[in-house]
Structure 1
Amino acid sequence: MAQISTEVPGDERGTLLAFVEAQRVALREAAQGLTEEQAASRPSVSELSLSGLLKHAADCELSWLRMAQQAPAQEQRSEESWGEAFRLVEGETIPGVLAIWDGVVKETEAFIAAVPSLDDTFPLPPAPWFPKDGKVSMRWMLLHLVEEFARHAGHADIIRESLDGTRAMG
């Protein structure tokens, strides 16, 4: 459940950012107190791990931010390297991923605060899953981040409970 913040304005922008943040927190909390090895484990038939979900969420937010800014995209993954988006690779750690994500969060919040309107749109890149010449609004992007992070927070809850019985909701 999203917490009502006294620090974030209660207007639409602030409300959307608060819901995005609530889902970020849910993902982060699922990995608290675990070793790198535990967080990298996959206790189900899924390929997902807690550390991989954290990395994916940070990458996902950065990707959407760059699209909205109409800035150059981050490194594109090939079919062979696609799985690396969902697991930590050589030299990556949970604190490192979280530090990168913290920077992305600050950048997202500053960008959203500065856009003239949540109705402003940006083009979607060519991809089989996007409509040809598609555009989405800043509002849509924030709602999509809520959806994306909430889906993965649910995955994280199941993984964590499978690891040590810890439950997100008590």
Structure 2
Amino acid sequence: MTDVQVAGERAVLEAMVDRQRAEVRALLEDLTEAEARERLVPSLTTVLGLVKHATFVERVWFHSRVAGVPRAQVGLPDTVEESFVLDDGDTIASVRAAHLAACERSREIAAEHDLDEEFPWHAGPVSLRYVHAHLVAELARHAGHGDILVEQLRARRR
């Protein structure tokens, strides 16, 4: 097996996206259901909401944009803000499972396309390469947001 640090472009991109996906899911480790839902900032951002939003991101970029399935058919909310909203039935286990399933489907979809293949976006066409790079940046940003929230929640336990 080739070491990812010296692998080909596609393997590196896919590994970097997968690492950020795992970082986002890891935010939920060792949190109670109440902690995962707690709002520490004025926005709708919670740790559980960040992971739910990451599922939305997977579905927007891969399930809808790359696979060409209309947003409504994928079950996406109309706005980004709505992707952070938690339902009564959302739990750490259910949100984690939905994220894992979305990521698996995203990998399947990506495997069917070349990095240079282009897909429509409101700012103009984007390549699959761009989609991977965008996800690395977006998920890393959200993992960082989550790290700060988790640090605040854990500090309260002391």
* TM category, shorter: 0.7 to 0.9
CA distance in 1, matches of 2:111, 2:75: 26
Per-residue deviation at 1:148?
Answer: 0.8
- The 5 A counterparts of 1:32-51 are 32-51=29-48
2:106 matched residue in structure 1:
108
Counterpart in the other structure of 2:23? 26
Q: For residues 108 and 76 of structure 1, what CA distance do their matches in structure 2 show?
A: 15
Matches within 5 A, 1:82-161: 83-115=81-113, 117-124=114-121, 130-131=122-123, 134-161=124-151
Superposed CA deviations along residues 81-114 of structure 1, whole A, max 9, x for unmatched, are x644113212121211111111111111122222
- Looking at structure 2, the residues matched to 56 and 44 of structure 1 have their Cα atoms a distance apart, in angstroms, of 16
Report the Cα offset of residue 6 of structure 1: 5.5
* AA of the residue aligned to 1:142: H
Task: Please name the residue that 1:68 is paired with.
Answer: 66
RMSD: 2.3
1: CA distance between counterparts of 2:38 and 2:78?
24
TM-score, normalising length: structure 1:
0.79
CA drift at 1:76 = 4.7
2:56 match: 59
Q: Does residue 162 in structure 1 map to residue 134 in structure 2?
A: no
With the length of structure 2 as denominator, give the TM-score of the two structures.
Answer: 0.85
More off after superposition, 156-165 vs 37-46: 37-46
Q: CA deviation at 1:44?
A: 3.3
Cα deviation 1:1-39 (Å, max 9, x = unaligned): xxxx869x9221111111111111111112201111100
- Structure 1 residues not aligned, in runs of 5+: 125-129
- 8 Å contact from structure 2 (residues 25, 51) kept in 1: yes
CA contact (8 A) 1:48 1:86 kept: yes
Amino acid of the residue matched to residue 21 of structure 1?
D
Where is the helix percentage greater, Structure 1 or Structure 2?
2
Give me the whole-angstrom Cα distance separating, in 2, the residues matched to 1:100 and 1:47: 19
Task: Please say which of residues 10-19 and 69-78 is displaced more in the overlay.
Answer: 69-78
Matches of 1:45 and 1:72 in 2, distance apart? 32
Cα displacement (A) at 1:121? 0.3
State the percentage of identical aligned residues: 35
* AA matched with 2:112: A
Q: Gaps spanning 5+ residues in structure 2: where?
A: none
- Out of 142-151 and 21-30, give the one that drifted further: 21-30
